[in-house]
Amino acid sequence: MSTSTPPGMSPHLNESYTKILDLSIRNIESGQNANNTSTSSTHSIRVTLNYPSGTLNNSRREIQLRLTNDTDPLFYFHLRINEHEYPLLKQNQGLLVDFNGFPGQLISLLEKCGDDKFLLVMNCGRDNTG
């Protein structure tokens, strides 16, 4: 039995997580002449997380997060974080977990979104201050 790798996904990732969750998308307009107004809408999206297993020894280890909407083929968000870029993300976001522990923590938070303990939110918009 052969499996194919989804477009945009690396065949070297051997762990994955998929779940359909509600996502609140907030469109925020801010800046000197704006009133910091926002509008929001809720969408049912598929969250797919692919990541290396703890035993994978590859010089290019990366975590891939993909958000898609099964009813809207134009809705697509894809993020890749490799092991060398992760320290900057960790510092900027104040994360306490290392690269190997990040997928497990992210899955734990996503599960809480599915249990209605947390709300999954994506803030979109432009900052017109500069």
What local confidence, expressed as pLDDT, does residue 54 receive?
Answer: 62
* 41-99 pLDDT tens trace: 999 999 999 998 765 565 578 999 999 999 999 999 999 999 999 999 999 999 999 99
Phi, psi of 104 (to 5 degrees): -65, -40
The DSSP line for 70-100 is TTEEEEEEEEEEETTTHHHHHHHHT--S-TT
Instruction: Give the predicted TM-score (pTM) of the model.
Output: 0.75
Instruction: List pLDDT tens digits, range 16-45.
Output: 999 999 999 998 876 545 556 678 899 999
Residue type, 90: K
Which domains, ranges and CATH numbers included, belong to the chain?
15-124 (2.170.210.20)
